[in-house]
Amino acid sequence: MNVLVINAGSSSLKYQLLNPDSGAVLAKGLCERIGIDGKFTYKPQVEGKEALKEVDVAMPTHSEAIQAVLYALVDAKNGVIASMKEIDAVGHRVVHGGEAFNKSVLITDEVMKAIEDCIPLAPLHNPANLTGIRACEKVMPGVPMVAVFDTAFHQTMPAKAYMYALPYEYYETDKVRRYGFHGTSHKYVAGRAAAMLGKKSEELKLISCHLGNGSSVTAVDGGKSVDTSMGFTPLAGLPMGTRSGDLDAGILEYLMAKYNMDIKEMVSILNKKSGVLGVSGVSSDFRDLENAGKEGNKRASLSVEMFNYGVKKLIGSYAAAMGGVDAIIFTAGVGENSASQRLAIASDLEFMGVKMDAEANKVRGEEAVISAPDSKVKVLLIPTNEELMIAMDTAAIVSGK
């Protein structure tokens, strides 16, 4: 079976054609500047096929973008499949499923309506995801499509973890609660962790640290998300590349009054000018911060320390919340690549049974156990693969498993 995975943004569309059983990727790429001047990138993963990089393709709407993807996939010279019939299903990443979806679903008219109903919760993302779905329906009629939600994995959180201490009607009437994000990634690495440890998911208490440009940490007890650091929006939790993470809401009133800012300006600062970029004044990219730190830039070092400290505190609190932890997982850009940050985060935790192995930790981008052999709690590096998770869910649903 081949599944086409689509991640549609407002003016971009990422795609990957893969086999969910073997994990083999046939081709992947990106349509950018949809509705502007259309740039198309195609990277076949099959020997002897040539890639296309940012070539001009007219893409006034997402439909032309999908059409360009299909043409490239079946192209006589550089295509990877003989015809569209070899695409068995399409898996769509959808950011927000609200409380309506606790797992991936086959897309029907009712599902489209429910995704539309979640637009107020993700006003930038869900409309773009819907556009991607409609474009596929138009260009590939009859091919089954599945929606995979960033929020669905976290729907198992208990009320004590997802409620905010606000007047209850804001939850009942306005759906204000913690939803959590990166669910597809947390679910994937939690599944891989069980496989690596040779245990059933039901037997394990895991803490999954997805540390990238956006970061979240999730407590996974018995295969289910029981708490997560992102909240009503992805602004919550850890300090991130440019996002503040959690802060005292009183700061908003203080700064808005002092600098005569409206709420839009304030929230824009929290989303785009804060996090490690805001503290360091250098960059939102952790590689730049590490380099600047080595050259003596104290604010760059401070921003990374704050981030690492934030992750460490979440590990401690989620271990307490679950009454223990069997393994800690590092994934995403920083988690997969930065040995120094993994070490900073997971060191000095011997009191709770975590003992890192500095040598084993000198690894990048591959599955590995990075704790010492006698560490009670295993520490794992697991590269995330959201596309594979989407393809696996899609295959399971269309084949009725």
Measured distance CA(107)–CA(128) in Å, rounded: 16
- Tokens found for residue 293: 């730190």
Question: Shortest Cβ distance from residue 158 to ligand ADP (Å)?
Answer: 27
* Shortest separation between residue 198's beta carbon and ligand ADP, angstroms: 27
Q: Give me the long-range contacts of 266-269 (CB less than 8 A, separation at least 24).
A: 267/235
Instruction: Check the annotation: does 154 bind a ligand.
Output: no
Can you give the length of the chain in residues?
A: 401
Residues at the interface with ligand ADP (CB under 6 A):
212-214, 241, 285-287, 290, 332-334, 337-338
The answer to the question of whether 212 is labelled as a binding residue is: yes
* Torsion of the alpha carbons at 342, 344, 348 and 354, rounded to the nearest 10: 0
Angle, vertex CA 18, rays to CA 15 and CA 22, nearest 5: 155
153 in a known ligand binding site? no
CB 224 within 8 A of CB 206: no
- Rounded Cα distance between 240 and 297, Å, is 19
Q: Tell me how far, at minimum, the Cβ of 100 lies from ligand ADP, in Å.
A: 25
Alpha-carbon distance values, 208 to 232, 239, 245, 275, 332 (Å): 19, 17, 18, 21, 11
Residue 93 annotated in ligand binding: yes
Q: Which residue is nearest to ligand ADP (CB)?
A: 333
Check the annotation: does 211 bind a ligand: yes
Alpha helices in 198-297, H assignment, sequence order:
250-258, 263-272, 275-280, 286-294
Helix (H, G, I), strand (E, B) or coil at 206: strand
Q: State yes or no: 142 annotated in a binding site.
A: no
Of 2 and 338, nearer to ligand ADP (C-beta) is 338
**Nearer CB in complex with ligand ADP: 2/216:** 216
Q: Mind spelling out the 3-state secondary structure of 207-229?
A: EEEEECCCEEEEEEECCEEEEEC
Q: Which is nearer to ligand ADP, 148 or 332 (CB)?
A: 332
CB of 87 to ligand ADP, least distance (A): 25
- Active-site residue numbers? 150
- At its nearest, how many Å lie between ligand ADP and the CB of residue 284? 6
Is the CB of 150 or the CB of 227 nearer to ligand ADP?
Answer: 150
Going by the annotation, the residues of the binding site for ATP are 14, 210-214, 285-287, 333-337
Going by the annotation, the residues of the binding site for Mg(2+) are 7, 386
Going by the annotation, the residues of the binding site are 7, 14, 93, 210-214, 285-287, 333-337, 386
